[in-house]
């Protein structure tokens, strides 16, 4: 790393980077490191460009943002001209794009309709070819195209048609390398492994404790074991503070329950999910205080029953009530947009220019 921008390994290089959604996005840190090494960076965004532009301001140098839906031919055809407004050519392109409808990612692999499969493959695999062809007029001196991959050698739980798309992405990369190599353009994929990005949170079973809350809460009430309210409360507190690493509920779901059950879930961004977990803290701590602190198990079980009800809606029907409340509060201005750059409407998660998965 250099102390001064513009004098590093990438000094004078121009890069086009797709897929920034939040500061947790892999693409954001690629852009940050590239700028620190002297590169000029142009970002692409899809949907609410103002949100991507706000994230771009948090880079070492504010970067220009141009709109790009990689499934839109008109936008692809005009990409080179719009990029030339900011740089005279490209030395590198980062493809950090992936999307799958809920039926294709976490739903039934056998029942997923072709329309959802087509969307998944188009956005997550074919788009690498589309992006490469669109950027080609700017890469007359050669360069490098890099995509983000996930291990497609085996069948992962819940990954389903996104796993198929990743296998297709790897094949697309080989053929692109064959055809673009003679032009001096390298094409490679980087497999980062499981990272807590927004895209990872979109994968059902990524440490969601909802099902465990249902089972543990019912056991507490049915078998009259008030001390279990302490376990539930600790699980929610640990989940909010550290994620699933120190949460017994998160560990139970990740290691035990998820491989055995196939609850349908809906992709949810990080901030609304943490908001919902914060509500879980309030309910679970209240139940624990009533049960253990005051010995009022009746009141405690009523509070716990409400928590179990909402956890059932989420784990069985994919309805995160706390996330819905978060969305409403954001729309009426109580929660600022910058709290969740990717989810002004968390029920609409189609982000073809989205994060790496």
Q: What's 39's domain CATH number?
A: 3.40.50.720
| pLDDT tens column, 119-178 | 999 999 999 999 999 999 999 999 999 999 988 888 887 889 999 999 999 999 999 999
pLDDT in tens, 8-31: 899 999 999 999 888 878 899 999
Same domain, 27 and 139: yes
**C-beta neighbour count of 263 within 10 angstroms:** 20
Instruction: Single out the catalytic residue among 13, 159, 273, 301.
Output: 159
Is residue 147 domain-shared with residue 215, that is, in the same domain?
A: no
Least confident of 137-141, 170-174, 219-223, 262-266: 262-266
Flag whether pLDDT at 348 surpasses 70: no
Q: Are residues 150 and 241 in the same domain?
A: no
Q: Which two tokens stand for residue 53?
A: 């532009």
Count of structural domains within the chain = 2
Q: Tell me: do 214 and 185 sit in the same domain.
A: no
Q: Which residues pair with 45 in a beta bridge?
A: 67
Q: Annotated catalytic residue: which of 166, 234, 273, 301?
A: 166
Please determine, for residue 331, whether its predicted confidence score (pLDDT) is greater than 90: no
Within this chain, do residues 171 and 278 fall inside the same structural domain, yes or no? no
In a domain, 144, yes or no: yes
Distance of CA 148 to the CA centre of its chain: 13
Q: Considering only CA atoms, which of 167, 166, 172 is closest in space to residue 128?
A: 172
At residue 241 the predicted structure's pLDDT band, cuts being 50, 70 and 90, is confident
Q: What average pLDDT does range 315-322 have in this prediction?
A: 73
What torsion do the CA atoms of 206, 207, 209, 210 make, to the nearest 10 degrees? Answer: 0
Domain containing 222: what range?
210-340
Residue 118: partners with Cβ closer than 8 Å, 6 or more residues away: none
Segment (H or E) for 43 = strand 40-45
Residue with tokens 């960076």: 41
Residues 43 and 156 in one domain: yes
DSSP string, 190-214: EE--S--SHHHHTSTTSS--HHHHH
Tell whether 266 is covered by a domain. yes
Q: What is the 3-state secondary structure (H, E, C) of 76-140?
A: HHCHHHHHHCCCCCCCEEEECCCCCCCCCCCCCCCCCCHHHHHHHHHHHHHHHHHHHHHHHHHCC
Question: Residue 184 and residue 179: Cα distance in Å, rounded?
Answer: 10
Q: pLDDT by residue (tens digit) across 38-91?
A: 999 999 998 778 888 998 999 999 999 999 999 999 999 999 999 999 999 999
Q: Is 61 part of any domain?
A: yes
What is the pLDDT, as a whole number, of residue 350? 42
pLDDT for 356 equals 42
- Residues 245 and 168 placed together within one structural domain of the fold: no
- Catalytic annotation on 166? yes
Give the pLDDT band (50/70/90) at residue 196.
low
Catalytic residue list contains 183: no
**Distance between CA atoms of residues 204 and 325, nearest Å:** 21
Clarify whether residues 145 and 21 are in a common domain.
yes
- Specify if 354 maps to a domain: no
């Amino acid at each position: 790393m250099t102390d001064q921008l513009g004098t590093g390994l990438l000094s004078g290089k121009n890069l086009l980077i797709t897929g920034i959604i939040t500061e947790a996005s892999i693409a954001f840190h690629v852009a940050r490191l590239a700028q620190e090494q002297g590169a000029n960076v142009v970002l692409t965004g899809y949907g609410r460009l103002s949100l991507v532009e706000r994230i771009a301001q948090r880079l070492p140098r504010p970067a220009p943002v141009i709109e790009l839906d990689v499934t839109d031919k008109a936008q692809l055809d005009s990409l080179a001209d719009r990029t030339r407004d900011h740089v005279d050519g490209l030395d590198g392109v980062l493809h950090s794009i992936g999307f799958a409808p809920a039926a294709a990612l976490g739903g039934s692999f056998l029942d997923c309709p072709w329309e959802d499969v087509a969307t998944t493959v188009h956005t997550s695999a074919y788009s690498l070819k589309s992006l490469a062809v669109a950027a080609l007029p700017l890469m007359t001196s050669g360069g490098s195209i890099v995509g983000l991959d996930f291990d497609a050698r085996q069948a992962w739980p819940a990954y389903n048609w996104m796993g198929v798309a990743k296998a297709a992405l790897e094949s697309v990369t080989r053929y692109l390398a064959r055809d673009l190599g003679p032009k001096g353009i390298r094409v490679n994929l980087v497999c980062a492994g499981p990272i807590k990005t927004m895209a990872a949170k979109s994968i059902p079973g990524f440490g969601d404790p909802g099902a465990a809350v249902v089972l543990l809460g019912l056991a507490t009430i049915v078998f009259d074991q008030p001390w279990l309210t302490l376990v539930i409360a600790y699980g929610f507190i640990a989940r909010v503070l550290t994620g699933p690493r120190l949460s017994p509920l998160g560990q139970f779901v990740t290691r035990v329950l998820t491989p055995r059950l196939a609850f349908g879930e809906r992709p949810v961004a990080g901030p609304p999910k943490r908001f919902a977990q914060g509500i879980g803290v309030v309910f679970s701590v209240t139940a624990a205080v009533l049960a253990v602190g005051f010995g009022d198990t009746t009141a405690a079980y009523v509070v716990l029953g409400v928590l179990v009800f909402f956890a059932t809606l989420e784990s069985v029907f994919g309805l995160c009530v706390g996330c819905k409340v978060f969305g409403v509060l954001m729309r009426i201005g109580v929660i600022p947009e910058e709290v969740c750059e990717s989810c002004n409407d968390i029920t609409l998660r189609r982000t073809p220019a989205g994060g790496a998965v």
